[in-house]
Chain A
Amino acid sequence: MINLASRDVLHGWGKFLFTGIGLGLLIGATLTMAGVFRGMVDDGQVLIDNSGADLWVVQQGTLGPYAEPSSIRDDVWRGIAGIQGVAETGNAAYLTIQMAHAGKDTRVMIVGIEVDRPNRPGAPAYLTAGRPILQGHYEAIADERAGLKIGERVKIRRHDYTVVGLTRRMVSSSGDPMIFVPLKDAQEIQFLKDNDVLVNERARTAANPAFNRPGVPGLLEAAQASATQARSVNTVLVRLSPGADPATVANDIQRWKRLTAYTRTQMEDILIAKLIATSAKQIGMFLVILAIVTAAIVAFIIYTMTLAKVREIAVLKLIGAKNRVIAGMILQQALALGVIGFLVGRIAAGLWGPAFPKYVLLLPQDAIGGFAIVLTICALASSVAIRAALAIDPAEAIGG
């Protein structure tokens, strides 16, 4: 028995294929939107993973260091390192700045990490080129998205930094590429004021009679020196020894050090459930609407395709074809259209995904789910068309 559906498709295959490709581009847009949503969540997730920490110790009562500003003294780690269950600590400073590079401003997140030995908490987990930071100052590792090359010198605030390594997927929760620099430099970038402010502050202090008293030489100098110190960090990253319970250690730190400590689960909750919640919902809403629109368009296409074949179906009925055969033909065509659409969509999404400025993550389970939904929608849409086809009067084959 010949397959009616394929014979019909072959009859007008150009039209069928183009319809499929058009549909595919729409599905591609929907898949990309899902990818954008996943990418957003993943940006938050990699931020947590890349820090390599089990606990984040931040200023008491803040949601730092990513969601809220947090500032603690950089010698706090000494106390934390002594707590049972703590294997390693690392100070870290995070700040987002606008960096002028190649004639335009790029938003980057500066990450200050300790560099006295390789793989301290906070350091990038892997490199795609170059080497780790070895000098204590003025070297940087950049995410590829920052557009920097190995050996390039880039000016951040007051100093020039040499890019010694590149890494990938090291981004802030808002998708800005990270630039890793030694902690002491990051502290300077974060807390040291620019020259004009320094000069003005000095003049202000000198004009203050409390700091510039006659008969107390050295007081003014001491007051001014103490104003330009940068001895704070945003967080202490903690690695636990094997078998230590994160919640217990976090509790110890909160209780005895009067700081706030977050475990990985809590940090995920802060970053993913709270920080990117509204923008993720925004994308999610758009994704839902796009899915509904796609479904509607698939239904319309299949319906109009069927209605365009009114005469052929009437002839089939006239020569005594069973309803089952006609329904099967329409369903098969709808599913074929769905399969072509899905394949085109997945290819399209795969091709244009990397061109997006922010990360687009196309998950296999999303693709499989999308495939199932596309086929379901096609089947449902074809049921409307089948109903219309079955209602066609065989007499239309002769009349009309």
Chain B
Amino acid sequence: MGERSLKWGLRLLGVALFLGPIFISLGANNWDPKAAVLPSEAELNEVADAVKGVMGGGFSPDTLTLGSPSIVGDQVSLPAEFRSPFNIPVKIRSFSIHFRADGQLLTLNMKESAVEVPARGIASFTLVGTYGGPITVEPTLSGFSVKFEALGVQIEFKQEV
């Protein structure tokens, strides 16, 4: 008799440990299975805010400031200043900017291998490239591409102007 009771007791213990949490969780969430299983609305909003917070205000015309170019031979060097809109430190892995002048495409690439930018901080780097011959008209921006590393994730943007 005792042996049988023990067997049933152990079985019931297993069932209670499985069903107990389900009933407690459903009861605490007004018997709404969705509310019991899924994270709360407040938690999801906090995550959304955190992701938005990381992105900061996004890119604006003030994000990148280009200085005056210096030309030595066919080498063009252009100082650039990046004002980070991000609320976390990021690393600029590569930066390319494309200009068009006299039907030619001039591409300037970041000279540095990588540039660390503090959260909402400013970083300076130099864009360098070569051009094929004398330019008779003011070059116009035709696009850029940038590769960031933030929180161990690589993000690449390309924009044609």
- A and B are partners in one complex rather than unrelated chains: no
A interface residues, Cβ below 8 angstroms from B: none
